[in-house]
Amino acid sequence: MITYKHADLEDTLAIIEFLKNNWSSKHIIAKRFDIFSHYYLPNNKIPNYFLALNSYNQIIGTLGYVTNKMFSERVNGNGAWLSMWCVTPGLKQPVGFNLLRTLEDNLSVDFIATLGAGLDTLPYYDKLGYITGTAEHWKCNLNDCNSLKNKLFVIDKLSSEEISRNSIGKNKEYLQNKFIKTNYYKYLTFSIYKNKEVVANVVGRVIDYSNMNIKIFRIIDIIGEIDAIRELAIYLANHEKYKFIDYIDILLGSIGNNITLPSIFTKCNPKNYLPLYFEPFIGKFSQKHFVYKSNNPEFKNNLIVTGDCDQDRPSI
């Protein structure tokens, strides 16, 4: 008999061991407990995992999740971002499917989503009524912006002011706690102002694409007005401090609204794109897939961004 439950604290080491044996012994979640704790063990209390157990009480399936409120209790709305969905091979029952149903039945959140879903898993999400799609990858060649003038004011730090049109499930504290405090990477932060009011906060990092001898400023997350990244691109292109950066890019999955970025950005396609994976470098993948389900009518529209779920963590 297979049983399903939410993990307890004493299941932590068994979860990591299961992932070592059934996902990859080299996976960063299995190798570094600090990264596991950051995403899946809020306040060192209960792991954010649902488990499938066989009749011997052994783990045969996991479904992890990351919530917005892990990084700030003050965010507008809470989502569960699915990750580390793994079952042992050869099972006769649909354990993975049942894990997802168990999470839906037992987790009280405004929306459930993921970024980086495997193409082969999308039919399972479709059956449960999720919106599935391919995130759009936008890029801007900064050499095309060095003669343009900023219309808005940009500064090199996160503003202490609250943004009136804050993004769903995010605020400045969220950005600080999820990305900046980890020290996994060296992040750059920016705020964009309009009429002395901050309209966007941006977190990103510079990636060295050594194969092509170029550097990319990848926007990891943004709160506020997405169009403000036009001003950031022009600022980077014209500021001597950032002249070494060649491109700025961002990955977006739009739920309920079509997003078109300012004309200095172009949409990547399989024949013309910047790679998505750099640790380790894998140049062949030009797309990432997302899934989304709203449990609250107020959250039927949303915008998935590059670093959502656990998409900006070390991989090796």
Q: What is the CATH number of the domain that holds 209?
A: 3.40.630
Specify if 315 maps to a domain.
Answer: no
Residue 80, domain CATH: 3.40.630.30
pTM reported for the whole predicted model:
0.95
Q: Do 209 and 263 lie in a common domain?
A: yes
Above 80 in pLDDT, residue 165?
A: no
- Cα(40)–Cα(66) distance, integer angstroms: 6
Q: Which two tokens stand for residue 67?
A: 């919530």
Vertex 189: Cα angle to 187 and 191 (nearest 5): 170
* Residue 171 · residue 78 · CB < 8 Å: no
What percentage of residues in the chain have a pLDDT greater than 90? 92
Q: Do 276 and 143 lie in a common domain?
A: yes
Q: Which residue has the tokens 């996976």?
A: 27
**What's the mean pLDDT in 281-290?**
92
Q: Which of 94, 109, 124 is the last residue of a domain?
A: 109
Domain that holds residue 24: 3-109
Q: Convert the pLDDT of each residue in 234-248 to its tens digit.
A: 999 999 999 999 999
Q: Convert the pLDDT of each residue in 167-224 to its tens digit.
A: 899 999 999 999 999 999 999 999 999 999 999 999 999 999 999 999 999 999 999 9
Q: Do 271 and 146 lie in a common domain?
A: yes
Specify if 313 maps to a domain.
Answer: no
* Residue 169 · residue 77 · CB < 8 Å: yes
CA-to-CA dists, residue 219 to 72, 237, 310, angstroms: 20, 15, 15
Specify if 35 maps to a domain.
Answer: yes
pLDDT (0 to 100) of residue 166? 72
Q: Do 95 and 180 lie in a common domain?
A: no
Q: Do 154 and 265 lie in a common domain?
A: yes
Specify if 133 maps to a domain.
Answer: no
Q: Do 88 and 186 lie in a common domain?
A: no
Q: Do 178 and 266 lie in a common domain?
A: yes
Q: Do 255 and 148 lie in a common domain?
A: yes
Specify if 272 maps to a domain.
Answer: yes
Q: Do 100 and 142 lie in a common domain?
A: no
Q: Do 153 and 76 lie in a common domain?
A: no
Q: Do 183 and 95 lie in a common domain?
A: no
Please tell me whether residue 48 adopts helix, strand or coil conformation: coil
Specify if 248 maps to a domain.
Answer: yes
Q: Do 64 and 165 lie in a common domain?
A: no
Specify if 293 maps to a domain.
Answer: no
Specify if 302 maps to a domain.
Answer: no
Give the count of domains, the chain: 2
Q: Convert the pLDDT of each residue in 5-61 to its tens digit.
A: 999 999 999 999 999 999 999 999 999 999 999 999 998 899 999 999 999 999 999
Beta sheet of 59-67, edge-to-edge order: 3-6, 49-53, 59-67, 79-87, 111-117, 289-294, 131-134
